[in-house]
Amino acid sequence: MPRTTRRSTQPPSDAYHHGDLHAQLIEASEALLAERGVEGFSLREVARRSGVSPAAPAHHFGDVDGLLCAVATLAFDGLTEALEAGNLRGGDDPVARLREQGVGYIDFAMRHPGRFGLMFRSGLRKSDACKSSAHHAFMALERGVRDMLAIPADAPLTQPQWQVLLSVWSVVHGFAQLTLAGQFDAIAPTGGRGSLLREIVAPMLERQFAGLRLTTAAGDQAQGPQAPQAPLRKRPKRGLPK
């Protein structure tokens, strides 16, 4: 009786097109990061989840840092899209636009905890593309603050204005981190993430902005019209952490 050969239903590793495998490896990396963090990340596990040989991720990205950098670059691009979507939701009101940017920032972190934890990790070796993506994300937030304070795009920020920018960033980033750590689970509304963002985050940001606008105006007035404007910082580009 002739023997029959059982065919595997799994596609061979070389069945992936180049672009498909690239996306598959990124997707598997994000899932692994969300589950285990950077400490539990490995090219071998990414390859196993993608159904390819252990050498495939290295072939496409070079090493672990190369793959993590690719994920971080896409993460910063996604954050920029979330901030710009907030601008659209806010309409013509600059305060509403910045509020929606803050809501979008936290929502992005909650939807993509693996990406969010990676993109701000110290020690990550960032490529020029990743640094550029981080810069664009930060500039989207800076433009929101400039619009709220009616600062022209080409005007240097005064020290009080720079402090407003850092304050807004710190609040939304810190809230996102605390939410991901489960610190607000006991007080979170029953409606889930959407209710948390609308019932707690949005009004919280509006109160913060109202106070910041008052203190910034007072600080600028105290400096006087002839006071020199403080530089942002001596660095080649403004942007999120390098």
The mean-pLDDT minimum among 9-13, 83-87, 91-95, 139-143 falls in: 9-13
pLDDT of residue 86: 97
> Looking at the chain, which residues constitute the CATH 1.10.357.10 domain(s)?
71-223
**16-62: which CATH architecture?**
Orthogonal Bundle (1.10)
Domain 71-223 -> CATH class: mainly alpha
Q: What is the 3-state secondary structure (H, E, C) of 2-42?
A: CCCCCCCCCCCHHHCCHHHHHHHHHHHHHHHHHHHCHHHCC
From-to residues of CATH 1.10.10.60 in the chain = 16-62
Give tens-digit pLDDT for 145-166. 999 999 999 999 999 999 999 9
d(CA 30, CA 214): 41
Q: How does pLDDT run across 218-227, given as a tens digit for each residue?
A: 555 555 544 4
Residue-wise pLDDT tens digits, 160-193: 999 999 999 999 999 999 999 989 888 878 877 7
pLDDT digits over 128-146, tens only?
Answer: 999 999 999 999 999 999 9
**pTM beyond cutoff 0.85:** no
